[in-house]
Amino acid sequence: MNPFSTLGIRHDIVNAITELGFENPTPIQEQAIPVLLSGSNDFVGLAQTGTGKTAAFGLPLLELLDFEENYPQALILCPTRELCLQITSDLKKYSKNVRNVNVVAVYGGASISDQLREIKRGVQIVVATPGRMLDIINRKAINFSEVSYVVLDEADEMLNMGFQEDIDTILATTPDDKKTWLFSATMPAEVRRIAKKYMTDPHELTMGTKNTGNVNIEHEYFVVKARDKYAAFKRIVDFNPEIFGIVFCRTKIETQEIAEALMKDGYNADSLHGDLSQQQRDRVMKRYRERSIQLLIATDVAARGIDVNDVTHVINYSLPDEIENYTHRSGRTGRAGKTGVSIAIINSKEVGKIRQIERVIGKQFTKAEIPTGFDVCEKQLFGLVHKVHNVDVNEEQIEQYLPRIMDEFKDMDKEEIIKRFAFLEFSRFLDYYKNAPDLNAPAFEERGGDRDRGGRTSERYDRTSSRGDYTRLFINLGSVDDFTRGDMLGFICNQSKISGKAVGKIDLKGVYTFFEVENSSAQQVQDAFKSVDFQGRNVRIELAGDRGTEGGGGGERSGGYRGNSGGGGFRGERSGGGNRGNSGGGFRDFSGKRREGGNSGGTGKRDGERKRRF
């Protein structure tokens, strides 16, 4: 028997959730369902998203409501459109075998007339974001006088977003004897206060310790110099080739810049922030869910309510202004029993913030080192080796080509073939990471603590200068052709009959080299190489132009070894609005100072409501 039946869920619903793969209740479902099914308690559940809380309250609701009747009996309030749609869709899935269940999603940024029409047709469960709900109440288009259950989902987020007043007004239209079920990932004083205000003697359930992050999440921090941040971030990503991550930035601009730089560098990335229209955001989320995007670069506000399973890494490219947001960010990974890693990339002065977060989440961070170029290459190389080892060959597909392939390799032994395949696949990034600098910076604790002292100092990356009186040229020979820099200088000078003094910086790579020559000699060099062979190969010299331009991005080459093949294009115009603009207003930041306004825009309407103190 499915254990959900033992908990008291009827078989029609158990059948539906079994199809969804719910074989055993999650801890919160196991504990909350029997309590909520009694229908006689107010309830406070301290639980993160990803713990199965939607079913924890959704299944009891489906048992308790009377679907023969078509009036609103349950109201679920949640902070974001995404969550609203998610809950609605989940409830519909759970109840697909139950007759006449009507669930309506009420949220901003979509046609209100469609929502009004749906309400008019008859509905038992309303899932809503507070702003649009209030709008509909003000139009007298809904009657909540017979509501028996109100669920406040992600209550801390709703308060954080300044919905307190709206919630008060909405709840005032519901009967006094309704039952209120509140779910929250964290329990700051504000949530305590609303629990007290709306509930009598609630049954409390805590999953894990209070304010503790999910136990499945490892927390790591990396200390780097500000100018090395992007390069360090890319190394972390390169070190984790299978990453499926959400990268949090503090501002829309930063979000966009990082996403665009990543796309340019060949990563599958895109941004999600409040300047995108709802349609654009939906499109990005669809691509992320489908995994066409590997890295989603997001602001806190835009990422609220994102419900994607199997996120392997959350990366705090910038730490959040409000400490509690760290919990929300990291809660996007380690969902549904999976493990996940939450990473913070910080500068030396931010170690104190890590300690503050540790106190809030009740877990310690591990200080990790940015992998060296060698580490990354090794990881990637063996990733491929393992893939080759484990690949399931479709014999039928490859069969027709095999004789010819075998014929091509008949003169080479196994070792030689393996070496060549490995080299070919990896020369791109072996080359990219050759001479890659150490990006770790020393970390300083506040007030001179020494916990992280001894971190390695980052070297300066030796960037190719591009002086105005030199021309930068590309030649298709490099270290794999057994050239040293001296050899290359000699080769160029002998061939083009110029003095060594006319040659500037030589940047020797694996299969090619960039070098500078005085402008006055540039043409002579190019002409001299027009018909030169090197070991049977045609030597090519070209103006470097944009090819392999270096710089940008704080000390490491801005291009990635992945080249420019991946990652979607740039979107067209970005229309404003769409987002409710919620992080404006006052709150306390890490320094304890009061900050005015947030980074993700805001209507300013609810200023003064948004306070977070630690």
Q: CB 526: neighbour CB atoms within 10 A? A: 16
Q: Which two tokens stand for residue 245?
A: 């991550």
- Cα–Cα distance, 99 to 91 (Å, whole number): 13
**Measuring CA to CA, how many Å separate 57 from each of 71, 115, 175, 181?**
19, 23, 20, 8
Q: Which of residues 53 and 273 has its CB atom nearest to ligand AMP in the complex?
A: 53
Q: Which of residues 20 and 172 has its CB atom nearest to ligand AMP in the complex?
A: 20
Angle at 282 between CA 279 and CA 287, to 5 degrees: 130
Minimum distance from CB of 332 to ligand AMP (Å)?
Answer: 11
Which has the closest alpha carbon to 112: 144, 83, 91, 134? 134
Q: Which of residues 22 and 470 has its CB atom nearest to ligand AMP in the complex?
A: 22
For 196, counting Cβ atoms within 10 Å of its Cβ (0-12 exposed, 13-18 middle, 19+ buried), the class is exposed
- Cα–Cα distance, 476 to 481 (Å, whole number): 10
Which has the closest alpha carbon to 194: 161, 158, 149, 147? 158
Minimum distance from CB of 324 to ligand AMP (Å)?
Answer: 19
Minimum distance from CB of 306 to ligand AMP (Å)?
Answer: 10
Spatial contact of 58 and 95, defined as CB atoms under 8 Å apart: no
Q: Which of residues 15 and 169 has its CB atom nearest to ligand AMP in the complex?
A: 15
Q: Which of residues 21 and 454 has its CB atom nearest to ligand AMP in the complex?
A: 21
Q: Which of residues 10 and 571 has its CB atom nearest to ligand AMP in the complex?
A: 10
> Would you tell me which residues interact with ligand AMP (CB under 6 A)?
21-22, 24-26, 29, 49-55, 307, 309, 335-336
Q: Which residues are 516's β-sheet partners?
A: 472
SS3 percent helix, strand, coil of the chain, rounded to 5, is 40, 15, 45
Minimum distance from CB of 265 to ligand AMP (Å)?
Answer: 32
Minimum distance from CB of 470 to ligand AMP (Å)?
Answer: 58
Q: Phi, psi at residue 190, to the nearest 5°?
A: -65, -40
Q: Which of residues 50 and 371 has its CB atom nearest to ligand AMP in the complex?
A: 50
Indicate the helix (H) or strand (E) that contains 513: strand 513-518
Minimum distance from CB of 22 to ligand AMP (Å)?
Answer: 4
Minimum distance from CB of 28 to ligand AMP (Å)?
Answer: 8
Q: Which of residues 207 and 502 has its CB atom nearest to ligand AMP in the complex?
A: 207
Minimum distance from CB of 581 to ligand AMP (Å)?
Answer: 25
- Cα–Cα distance, 156 to 147 (Å, whole number): 23
Which has the closest alpha carbon to 48: 334, 246, 357? 334
Q: Which of residues 185 and 376 has its CB atom nearest to ligand AMP in the complex?
A: 185
**Measuring CA to CA, how many Å separate 557 from each of 148, 441, 463?**
61, 18, 8
Minimum distance from CB of 31 to ligand AMP (Å)?
Answer: 13
